[in-house]
Structure 1
Amino acid sequence: MQISVGTRQGLSFTPSAEEWSEAFDDAKRQALVGVCFRGVQCAVKNDNSKVANLLPKLKMQWLAITANIQRRNEVMNRRCAELYGLIKAAGYESCVLKGQAVAMYYDDKSNADETNRMSLLRQSGDIDMWMVGDADKVIRWARDTNTMYYYDYHHADLSLFADTEIELHYRPSISRNLWRNARLQNWFRNEGLHHIIYNEQLKCCVPDNVFSLILTLNHNLWHLLYEGVGLRQMMDLYYVARSMQSSEEVFCLISRFQLESFASASAWVLWYLFDGSADNSLFVSEQSPLPAPNERLGRFLLNEIMKAGNFGHHDDRLKSERYASSTRLMIQWLRHTMRLVKYFPVEVAWTPIGILRISMWRRWRYMNEF
């Protein structure tokens, strides 16, 4: 990863064939196959002898997946522009969140080679589009497309395109901590709108780096608390944070949304993993947009990341048999919660209340509609 992001020039040793296989498997677990293959390519250029044990069959498999990721991103970029145009034609403003918008920060602006863009190597999921408007109007528009199949407090799910799923957001991000959630929604509806910019490359609006930093921090914290957060999400945060410097506005927003603990844990992970614990890392300097790294919280976060994989899909602690009993599922989630309460007690304490509040919102809407 360090070779991929440019903080290390080449490999410091010659991995065995087994280690290359493990690296590939880890890249798949963390949804970083494409960006890690960039590291392989750079390592080959730096010292081909260090890559001698990378078996040709594995290298070709890695290359094939990376090529598919690039093609997929090209499709996703086109779909973002198309969806933006449809919403614009309906008289609403919108902007792409996370995914394709954050990927733009991956590109080296000094690199004019359009075929070798780092943003095309980031593994994409669905399209997260924020349609600026209240939930009623957004849901009504989504239903009128005849492709909406689900909605909740956060977003509506659409199958508007045959090759891309869409999450149409009326709330860019949420929290089960009702106090934090109220502050977040108020900021999104007001000051947050001033942090939306038009991206010529994507042909649609995206959040600026201040908005993206807050959104990514809150999004990653949500996944840590309730599903699992992976290295792809941390790499998103790394590139967003690297694009900016400290400012009073950013520090005030991190404090306002009670993200200090998670931000300081994230800062340590970014410093340790991506910058290789370098003394000149942005994240240990006064110019960092994040709070000072907290090693205790950071090591806990890193351990969770490595066990959980992308979005927690590989966390054996949270995997359940198809027909597991409700009691067993509850015990499993209680164990998960107890791991977190020591480090994020306020968020854990708010969880039952937040679940009830969000569930009531959805139940009330469904009862009144159907």
Structure 2
Amino acid sequence: MMYHSRFYTYMIDIYNKFFQILRCAIHDDIEVPQLSVNEWKQIYCIAQKQSLLAVIFRALERATPPSDDDEEKDVFGKLVIEWLGQVRAIERINHNVTANVIKLSEKFAQDKFQSCLLKGQGNGLLYPQPNSRTPGDIDILIRPRKYDLGKRKVADDVRKIIKYVRLQEPDAIAIYNHIEYPRFNGTDVEVHYRPSFMFNFIFNSRLQEFFTENADEQFHNRTEMADGVIAVPTSEFNKVFLLSHIYKHLFHEGIGLRQLLDYYYVLENDVEFSNDYKALFSHLGICHIAGAIMWILTEYFGMKQEKVLVPVDEKRGRFVLNEVLQGGNFGRYDTRYNFGNDVWGRNLQRLYRDWRLLRYFPSEAISEPIFRIWHFCWRLKHKKTKLKKQEDI
């Protein structure tokens, strides 16, 4: 018992130092503390687990070598070289993904679809060093170019987009908010017809209404990226969309510090706080998760109080932070939900997660199993949606 207590205390200390270094990485005016080689190694492992290696490296560049001992200096130097190699690899992947984003957007335009980049490289534009954000796949929202909000239904466009993708990949898997697109020059792609969703049907209906009402502005909010131009969400849209995305992944796969850092930079770069976010977030069912994220960002990321959208919620914030630290980026390192990879195992995993989240987020936790059954029927309905030729779109 004493060993476990000491180990727990040690891990708390390491994570406190990690967040101290994270604040140094995102706030250049904070001096980097002197750490031991072993502490830097631990921080490297946490940064890798959270997909923040290139971000944290900004603090390492300003750090003082751990000691005057030649052997310690040699070990530290090797760590810096290894870390730098990872950073350069992240930068190369970023360049490739960004180029693919532009090419993919141009392809959709040729095929008579408007597009708007969600998350990913669009979020990276908000970082002081865009290529320091560890890239993932491409999430891109599309709709038919001839779009009349008063005469069209979203469901009609969903079917058309699914048919369009399955002209290129007949067995592409479609879920409620996106369909898998063929890998594009080595990059995974998800084509969205809905940005995100909620499990609670009432809140989901309100969220989809918000997305539809604000869609036009997103498709026309164009910005320069690399050698091209692409539409990205506005700050006001991202405050809702990214929060709902974080909420969904908290229940499904898990979230990491990278997703929270994305949200930090959305708020850090925002210059207007014109809306009553508490009322809006309550209407959409995302106020509880918003309060939790606000606490984490102010307590551990050093975000200023004037950037807070809703009152901080320490109780839920501590719970969410624990989920983030245990699971790592998208929950890949979480060992608490290992029920197997078959259908029964995955469903038991979801139910166990719902049970753990019930106390803090009851609306979504109660709704998730019901939504899952409904979603199964939705996927069956859209499983064979195909076209013989693109001219039918």
**TM-score, normalised with respect to structure 2:** 0.82
- Conserved in 1, the CA contact under 8 Å of 2:295 and 2:314? yes
Q: Which amino acid aligns with 2:257?
A: L
Partner of 2:257: 231
> CA offsets, 1:229-279, max 9 Å, x none?
11000000100011224222644432321111110110000011110xxxx
Partner of 1:315: 334
Separation of aligned partners in 1, 2:362 and 2:29: 37
Q: Which amino acid aligns with 2:134?
A: Q
Separation of aligned partners in 2, 1:369 and 1:205: 28
> CA offsets, 1:163-187, max 9 Å, x none?
1111000111112111121112222
- Conserved in 2, the CA contact under 8 Å of 1:142 and 1:148? no
Partner of 2:25: 4
Task: Report the secondary structure of 2:190's partner residue.
Answer: strand
1:303 aligns with 2:313: no
Instruction: Quote the sequence identity (%).
Output: 29
Partner of 2:288: 261
> CA offsets, 1:63-83, max 9 Å, x none?
111001001111111111111
Q: Which amino acid aligns with 2:184?
A: F
Which structure has the greater CA radius of gyration?
Answer: 2
1:21 aligns with 2:41: yes
Partner of 2:136: 125
Separation of aligned partners in 1, 2:131 and 2:58: 11
Task: Report the secondary structure of 2:294's partner residue.
Answer: helix
Partner of 1:139: 162
Partner of 1:346: 363
Task: Report the secondary structure of 1:200's partner residue.
Answer: strand
- Conserved in 1, the CA contact under 8 Å of 2:254 and 2:327? yes
1:157 aligns with 2:213: no
Residue correspondences, number: 346
Q: Superposed, which structure 2 residues align to 1:164-175 within 5 Å?
A: 164-175=187-198
Separation of aligned partners in 1, 2:265 and 2:322: 21
> CA offsets, 1:177-233, max 9 Å, x none?
111211122222222322441011251111011111111100001111121111000
Offset, 1:160: 4.4
Q: Superposed, which structure 2 residues align to 1:1-370 within 5 Å?
A: 1-6=22-27, 9-12=30-33, 14-41=34-61, 43-44=62-63, 47-48=64-65, 55-107=76-128, 118-133=129-144, 134-146=157-169, 149-196=172-219, 197-202=221-226, 203-244=229-270, 245-248=272-275, 250-275=277-302, 281-282=303-304, 284-285=305-306, 288=307, 290-321=309-340, 326=344, 332-366=349-383
Question: CA distance change for structure 1 residues 160 and 21 in 2, over 3 Å: closer, same or farther?
Answer: closer
Q: Which amino acid aligns with 2:224?
A: E
Q: Which ranges of structure 2 fall in alignment gaps of 5 or more residues?
A: 1-21, 145-156, 388-393
Question: CA distance change for structure 1 residues 194 and 27 in 2, over 3 Å: closer, same or farther?
Answer: same
Question: CA distance change for structure 1 residues 50 and 95 in 2, over 3 Å: closer, same or farther?
Answer: farther
Q: Which amino acid aligns with 1:17?
A: V
- Conserved in 2, the CA contact under 8 Å of 1:147 and 1:158? no
Separation of aligned partners in 2, 1:49 and 1:347: 47
Offset, 1:124: 0.7
Question: CA distance change for structure 1 residues 99 and 194 in 2, over 3 Å: closer, same or farther?
Answer: same
Offset, 1:11: 2.3
Task: Report the secondary structure of 2:161's partner residue.
Answer: helix
Task: Report the secondary structure of 2:140's partner residue.
Answer: strand
Offset, 1:138: 0.9
Task: Report the secondary structure of 1:83's partner residue.
Answer: helix
Task: Report the secondary structure of 2:188's partner residue.
Answer: strand
Q: Which amino acid aligns with 1:71?
A: R
Offset, 1:336: 2.2
Q: Which ranges of structure 1 fall in alignment gaps of 5 or more residues?
A: 108-117, 276-280
Task: Report the secondary structure of 1:132's partner residue.
Answer: strand
Separation of aligned partners in 2, 1:194 and 1:201: 18
Q: Which amino acid aligns with 1:208?
A: T
Separation of aligned partners in 1, 2:286 and 2:126: 22
> CA offsets, 1:262-321, max 9 Å, x none?
10110000011110xxxxx42x23xx3520211111111111111110000011102345
> CA offsets, 1:28-78, max 9 Å, x none?
11011111111211x23xx45679766222211111110010011111111
Offset, 1:356: 1.6
Task: Report the secondary structure of 1:167's partner residue.
Answer: strand
Separation of aligned partners in 1, 2:197 and 2:385: 23
Offset, 1:359: 1.4
- Conserved in 2, the CA contact under 8 Å of 1:246 and 1:289? no
**TM-score, normalised with respect to structure 1:** 0.87
Task: Report the secondary structure of 2:163's partner residue.
Answer: helix
